[in-house]
Chain A
Amino acid sequence: MMISSPHAHDRSSVERTMYLVCFALLPATLLGFYLFGWPAINLWVLCIASALASELLCLSLAGKRMSFALDGSAILTGWIIAMTLPPWGPWWLAVTGTLFAIVIGKHLYGGLGQNLFNPAMLTRVGLLISFPLEMTTWASVNPITEASAPGFLQGLEITFLVTPLSDGLTGATALGHVKTALTAAIPSTVSVAEIFNVNDALTGFTRGSLGETSALLMLAGGIFLIWKRIIHWYIPVALIVTVAAMATLFNSIDAERYAPAVYHLLSGALMFGAFFIATDPVTSPSNVKGQLIYGMGIGLVTFIIRTWGSFPEAIGFAVLFMNAMTPIIDRYFRPRIYGYNYKGAPLKVAKE
């Protein structure tokens, strides 16, 4: 084969990209293990294992190189799904979820780089709609070091025997609580104060998905990825600023009905979504202008669904919605080409 220039490379690789994202997820994952104990660890292992198995299955069916399975993309998909599941969720949630993401969400579209939708968010939304009970049963924080935390065997029981969890061990998330309270005509000023605590939301000592609870660790992971140039700030900043602006605006109009910005930003999957989901390169626009619009779009849709929709959390829906918009954003928002003006017409030669 003829080899063309350049004969040098900056040493980046798909593997490096994927594993750096995994690395950025590690602190939040370890915190999840600590807060929710053995069942959470089981779930994470199951997600990674079944993601890898599904990837190998698809690669062999498609006749592709089996070594692609180790490019990190399948592991990352499995990992991200684990992060978004309720920490004490049953084994089949993890297995069907990752199978769905890898087979339907990724390989049916043609494999790595070809999928229109973020596979992990397809899974999240798919599971939420199909199994609303299991997907919204939130284990309370019960650090693994506590005596009351389930041991290894008990953890296996929770994950594999699918015994319904007793009410004492579970409860509502902040987003869920405030949403329910509003339907009972309790103003959000009261309900937010009841359940939302800035410190807990930052550190992650609160009910929620396995790896999404700590806004601080999400932010740290995101900043790490920006520093490593794996992601750019455009999407997360556009997303966060949009949600903050919308929340502040409506909160100032009617504080009883609309929760404040800090609650929106630090609750649920917002930080996780902003830094780890919305920045998925495959399903987001490829240039700066498009990425800003995409980030704003996710922020807007998230706020609208959280506020006026029937689901308490909306990052998954918002990401899928904007994924669908990505081709059209990419078509209409492009960088200006050298030698052309912003409208795409050739620059004119100045006649002297």
Chain B
Amino acid sequence: MLMKFKVRGGVHADERKEQSTDKPIRVLGIPPLLSIPLSQHAGLPAKPIVAEGQHVLKGELIGATAGDRSASIHAPTSGTVLGIGRIQAPHPSLLSYDAIHIEPDGLDSIYLPETPVDPQQLSAAAIADLVDSAGIVGLGGATYPAALKLKAGSRQNVHTLILNGSECEPYLTCDDMLMRERAAEIISGAQLILKAINAKQIIVGIEDNKPQAIKAMREVAQTDSNVEIRVIPTRYPMGSAKQLIKVITGSEVPTGGRSSDIGVLVHNVATSFAVHQAIYQNRPLISRVVTLSGQALATPQNVEVLIGTPVQWLLEQCDGLVATPARMLMGGPMMGQILPNTGVPITKGASAILALTNEEINSAAASPCIRCGSCVQACPMGLLPLEMARHSRADDYDGANEFGLKDCILCGSCAYVCPSHIPLVHYFQFAKGKHRENQIQSSKGEYTKSLSEARLARQEKEAAAKAAAKAEKAAKAAARKKANSQVEKV
């Protein structure tokens, strides 16, 4: 019998998923220009290894990993490198960052590696290396380099690979459609990951609002005795790793720890699909499935697009907009980022482009907190958002931490249910940033203090040594004088 574990808190957000699921995934062609950002992952930006005017092939490495949590990037199609220039980031900050611009030649010629691999014969380390060189990052949104998770997983005692097919964000159906249409490839990729981390079983968690995906995945998983398709309740934020692990295993990840601490590793179904493509089809991460949705959009649907495709071109290919959107988003409505404009490219982490109307956003001016506790009930982490907000507003970040700020996953459940429309997530993001800043400041201060203390100590020591040397010299001189005078006497 299966144990049922309850998820606490969370919200049942208006799903709005039907509109984008009645058409199969549409593979979009090659846009006239591709801009591949060097930073599409959690860590440091990739280092460009191509020069202006250079011709590149589809799948060729154009940006190498550069240290901490970095991931490589590849040419999505064949063409000429126009240059490396700054573009606006798909982020409300309007910051810009570097991207490699490629003008496709339309031939889509594939780059072939020197030595083909036999997927069946790969060692755990070899799989992780291939995933690394394919530039695969977590496609659920966190964009953490997948290979790092595999390498960490193989070192620890991970027994279960959880495949995240929950897709709890409203509107999003890219994982749903992927599971419906490419279940075999997802399971195949999962088996490779399983091997890379030396785990025993795969559990695929899918929310019960995706019956077709569940059916498709079950059909494929029938033949694999180590795969279980687990239907989980539809509740946001089920797709958050911590909540998914709790619902599937009943255990909680200790605070400050990682999933591997309790023997599990979570990967998104789309990541698993990318691993399959990288190893069986020799195709690095150069495209992804993106949900296009929202009431301002003419034809909501899922499209497979090349990384670096401009959002504007993407929208034009899909009949464009029917209304001026009140807000354009990259990602889901609960945790997605505002798109400053449609000139930005699709990145590896872009699960959706949403064009929302005012009616869908339902934003309103914030009014005072009435302490109703809705946020407390909604918080999947058991925090007290109202208290965290109160302390954050007063710049009391230690106080906010005491009520759980450091354990906040920024899922937005609290702000979603807040009758006063208080921008709680905004407060928490700001407070987290400030707290980190303060910590850095104080550690800097301590470092400076320890340096100056060390300097003082050194100076004292030097002075003492000098004095000792002087005294010794004086003593010697006196002794010599004495000896000399004795000699003279003699």
A interface with B by C-beta (< 8 Å): 2-14, 16-17, 68, 71, 73, 111-114, 232, 281-287, 291, 330, 334-340, 346-350, 352
Cβ contact of B404, chosen from A13, A73, A337, cutoff 8 A: A337
The interface residues of chain B, by DSSP majority, are classed as loop
Please indicate the chain A residues that have their CB under 8 angstroms from the CB of B383 in the complex.
335, 337
CA distance A3 to B358 in the complex (A): 14
Nearest to A2 among chain B residues (CB) is B92
**A352: B residues at CB distance < 8 A:** 157, 263
- Once the chains bind, are A286 and B371 in contact (CB under 8 Å)? yes
Q: Which of B192-200, B278-286, B413-421, B439-447 contacts A (4 or more CB under 8 A)?
A: B413-421
CA distance A228 to B481 in the complex (A): 105
Contacts of A17 in B (CB 8 A): 370, 372, 419
- Complex-state Cα separation, A143 to B76, whole angstroms: 82
Q: Are A339 and B255 interface neighbours, CB within 8 A?
A: yes
CA distance A6 to B404 in the complex (A): 19
Is B370 within 8 A of A113, CB to CB?
A: yes
Partner of B417, one of A3, A10, A287, A346: A10
Tell me whether A9 and B421 are in contact (CB under 8 A).
yes
Across the interface, do A339 and B254 meet the contact criterion of CB distance under 8 Å?
A: yes
- Complex contact B334–A6 (CB within 8 A): yes
Q: Besides A7-B334, A13-B364, A14-B367, 13 other CB < 8 A contacts?
A: A3-B363, A5-B333, A5-B412, A7-B356, A10-B11, A14-B419, A282-B371, A284-B371, A335-B376, A338-B253, A338-B381, A339-B257, A340-B255
Contact A12 B373 (CB under 8 A): no
Query: When the two chains form the complex, which single residue of A5, A282, A330, A338 contacts B335, counting CB atoms closer than 8 Å?
Result: A5
Q: Which residues of B contact A (CB under 8 A)?
A: 8, 11, 13-14, 92-93, 157, 170, 242, 246, 252-257, 261-263, 327, 329, 333-338, 354, 356, 360-364, 367-374, 376-377, 379-384, 386-387, 403-404, 407, 410, 412, 415-421, 423, 425-426, 429
Alpha-carbon separation in the docked complex, A113 to B92 (Å): 32
**In whole angstroms, how far apart are the Cα atoms of A285 and B376 in the complex?**
11
Instruction: Tell me if A's interface is mostly helix, strand, loop or mixed.
Output: loop
A335→B385 CA distance, assembly (Å): 12
The residue on A at minimum CB distance from B383 is A337
Q: How long is the Cα–Cα vector from A352 to B158 in the complex, in angstroms? A: 10
User: With the chains together, A338 CA to B411 CA distance in Å?
Assistant: 14
Give 14 pairs: A residue, B residue, CB < 8 Å, sorted on A: A3-B363, A5-B335, A9-B362, A11-B362, A12-B418, A17-B372, A112-B368, A112-B370, A232-B377, A281-B370, A281-B371, A330-B387, A335-B382, A338-B380
A6–B416 touching, CB < 8 Å: yes
**Chain B residues, CB < 8 A from A114:** 368
| Closest partner residue, chain B, to A279 (CB atom) | B372
Q: Could you say which residues of chain A place their CB within 8 Å of the CB of B257?
A: 339, 346-347, 349
Residues of A with C-beta under 8 A to B255: 337-340, 346-347
Q: How far is the CA of A207 from the CA of B339 in the complex (A)?
A: 63
Known: A13-B421, A337-B383, A338-B380. A5 touches B254 (CB 8 A): no
Cβ A3 vs Cβ B338 within 8 A = yes
- B256 near A346 with CB under 8 A, answer yes
On whether the beta carbons of A113 and B384 are closer than 8 Å, the reply is no
CB-based contact B336/A7 at 8 Å:
yes
Report whether B416 and A8 are in contact in the complex, using a CB–CB cutoff of 8 Å: yes
Q: Which of B252, B327, B387 contacts A339 (CB 8 A)?
A: B252
Indicate if the CB atoms of A337 and B416 lie closer than 8 Å.
Answer: no
Docked Cα-Cα span, A113 to B372, in Å, equals 9
Closest to B260 in A: A349
- Rounded to whole angstroms, the CA-CA distance of A334 and B254 in the bound complex is 18
Q: Which residues of A contact B377 (CB under 8 A)?
A: 232
Cβ B367 vs Cβ A68 within 8 A: yes
| Residues of B contacting A281 in the complex (Cβ-Cβ under 8 angstroms) | 370-373
> How many Å from the CB of A108 to the closest CB on chain B?
15
Check B368–A8 contact: CB distance below 8 A: no
With both chains docked as a complex, state the minimum distance between the C-beta of B119 and any C-beta of chain A, in angstroms.
Answer: 30
User: With A286-B384, A339-B257 known to touch, is A4 a contact of B429 (CB < 8 Å)?
Assistant: yes
Q: Roughly how many angstroms separate A287 CA and B373 CA in the complex, as a whole number?
A: 6
What is the bound-complex CA distance between A334 and B407, given in angstroms?
A: 15
Q: Name the residue of chain B whose CB is nearest to the CB of A284.
A: B371
**Cα-based distance from A144 to B262 in the complex (angstroms):** 70
Does the CB pair B367–A287 fall under 8 Å?
no
Identify B254's interface contact among A11, A335, A348, CB under 8 A.
A348
Chain A residues with Cβ under 8 A from B372's Cβ? Answer: 17, 281, 286
A6 nearest in chain B by CB position: B412
Residue contact B423 to A336, C-beta cutoff 8 Å: no
B13, B334, B386: the one within 8 Å of A5 (CB): B334
Q: State whether A8 touches B170 (Cβ < 8 A).
A: yes
8 A-B pairs closest in CB distance: A6-B412, A339-B255, A4-B426, A347-B254, A281-B372, A286-B373, A8-B333, A335-B382
- Most A CB atoms within 10 A — which of B361, B367, B380, B407? B367
B7 to chain A, nearest CB (A): 10
Within the assembled complex, what's the spacing in Å between the Cα atoms of A338 and B240? 13
Decide: A339 near B92, CB < 8 A? Known: A7-B333, A347-B252, A352-B157: no
Min distance, Cβ A342 to any Cβ of chain B, angstroms? 11
Shortest beta-carbon distance from B487 to chain A in Å: 77
Complex: chain B residue closest to A17, CB-CB: B419
* Chain A positions within 8 Å of B363 at CB level: 3, 7, 9
- Cα A35 to Cα B376 with chains together (Å): 41
Chain A neighbourhood of B14, CB < 8 A: 8, 10
List of B residues within 8 angstroms of A338 by Cβ: 8, 242, 246, 252-253, 255, 380-382, 407
Task: Report the nearest B residue to A234, measured CB to CB.
Answer: B373
Q: Which residues of B contact A11 (CB under 8 A)?
A: 362
Give the CA-CA distance A74 to B328 in the complex, in Å.
38
